[in-house]
A and B are shown apart, each in its own frame.
Chain A
Amino acid sequence: MRRIYLDNAATTHVAKEVLEAMMPYFSEKFGNASSLHSFGRETRDAVENSREKISKKLNAKEHKIIFTSGGTEANNLALKGVAFANREKGKHIITTKIEHDCVLNACKWLEKNGFEVTYLNVDKEGFIDLNELENAIRNDTIIVSIMHANNEIGTIADLKAVGEICKAKGVYFHSDTCQSFCKVPIDLKSFPVDLLTINAHKIYGPKGVGALVIGEGVKIDPLLHGGGHELGLRSGTENVPGIVGFAKAIDVIKEKDIEHMKRLSDKLIEGFSAIEESWLNGPKGDKRLCNNVNFTFRFIEGESLLLYLDSKGIAASTGSACSTRAVEPSHVLTAIGLSAADAHGSLRFSVGKDNTEDEIKYVIDVVKESVESLRKISPLTKK
């Protein structure tokens, strides 16, 4: 059967050149990067060259890059690490209602441990109100955490504007950029961001590797204590093949791939818009991530549409891809004002650089048919 992968926001395949770059670091160059002998030196060089490359990509000369086991760990390190290291300054944290679960659940955990968290509202396209942010910052606010591109609806936040507000108010600014890294330009020289989360498996790199980029002078405690790796901020023998693959992956997505993904996404949006009682969630135009299409098809339930499409070889996603299914409707879709019923009837299609126009045509046809079939079974359909 023909298989079409439209779940690139959940994860991507590892690009061939990335895999090739990683291969020597499993068996051939296997040394512990902390060892002083030649075996260790060759992997140390690989780790430091990778760090250098990622630092250049972000124009982050003044920042340090701390490799982690992925986006989840980097977000946890940013929030918990900064919260605990700055307790004497205060106990207040600001984030938004549409963050990834790893940020929201880290915040919930911090609330159980004596911190207070403000969850900012977003408008119907998923944007925060900068005035609301400014007013929410208190004397005891330690950190503001606002994601760059939203993983469910593709809304791209204005990092520069948020960063400037945080800078003026003297609070740390953290941003989760797992979805936007290498798709939307990020320049830490001109964006005042103190902490930035990135990971590899959304950009054709391996799973299980990411990094927290930390600005100069940021007070932060580690989560993992041990041998003092990664400047003492993340102990544990470095995942050398993963780190090498991560650094290689940052070159995979080219400008023309971004344009291609944007074109395919627009085609999907146009095709789905012809289906009655359906709409695009999130913004249109250049404030939308190039590869995200999130659609509500009223009167049908997302999981059943997902499985229907799966039976035809098409892979999409409901709600947040990292948890296959919560019975709760998506917190992002309810935050932008969808009713629970409509949130249940929504699906995310995230294109990749290797999808083709022909595939997109097929997907539009199959989605039309599938929505029609499921609406025949639904008691909510008006007809």
Chain B
Amino acid sequence: MNEGIRYSKKIMDLFLHPKNVGELKDADGVGKVGSAVCGDVMVIYIKVAEQAGKKIIMDTKFKTFGCAAAIASSSMLTEMVKGKTLEEAEKLTWKDIEKALDGLPLVKTHCAVLAIDALKAAIKDYKQKLKGEKE
């Protein structure tokens, strides 16, 4: 609790200049996780399109209330999933985010976990909406 926190340059760069901030008005899936009480809330928006029989994440955006690591993790996640198929995106773990950020302080791993959870929630939301349309 008292050892202080040091972030990688990558995290600081992304935190100060995050990519893909905002909302997608016509999102196909929205995932919201965390709670303001715990000091972190993340919302991920995805836009999905079918190309050659594959479902591809065409666009993503995010909004985050949280620490620098949470903001950097969500920004990194949106960059990582853009252009990926749903199957590929579902395989991502918090460790992939950690690696892409050049490491995360130990007490901050949950911020990357939160980003993955938000993505999963967005994909789930998309699938549910799809099911709803078919029924």
Contact = CB atoms under 8 A, between A and B. Distances in A.
Interface of A: 299-301, 303-304, 307-308, 311, 322-327, 329, 339-341, 344, 376-380
Q: Name, among A300, A307, A377, A378, the residue most crowded by chain B CB atoms within 10 Å (CB to CB).
A: A377
Contacts, number: 71
Contact of A340 (B2, B32, B37, B63): B37
A380 B38 CA distance: 13
A301 B66 contact: yes
Interface in B97-112: 107
Given A325-B107, A341-B36, A377-B71, 15 more contacts: A299-B65, A304-B70, A307-B12, A324-B2, A326-B1, A327-B107, A340-B37, A340-B39, A341-B39, A377-B18, A378-B65, A379-B32, A379-B42, A380-B36, A380-B41
A301 B1 contact: no
Contact of B63 (A301, A327, A379): A379
Contacts of A329: 39
27 contacts: A301-B39, A301-B67, A303-B67, A304-B15, A304-B66, A304-B68, A304-B70, A304-B71, A307-B15, A311-B12, A323-B1, A324-B3, A325-B5, A325-B67, A327-B38, A327-B107, A340-B36, A340-B37, A344-B36, A344-B39, A376-B21, A377-B18, A377-B21, A377-B71, A378-B65, A379-B41, A380-B65
Nearest to A308: B16
Q: Is the interface of A mostly helix, strand, loop or mixed?
A: loop
B53 interface: no
Interface residues of B, number: 29
Interface of B: 1-5, 7, 12, 15-16, 18, 21, 32, 36-43, 63-68, 70-71, 107
A308 B32 CA distance: 24
A378 B65 CA distance: 5
B65 A379 contact: yes
B73 to A, nearest CB: 12
Contacts of A327: 38-39, 107
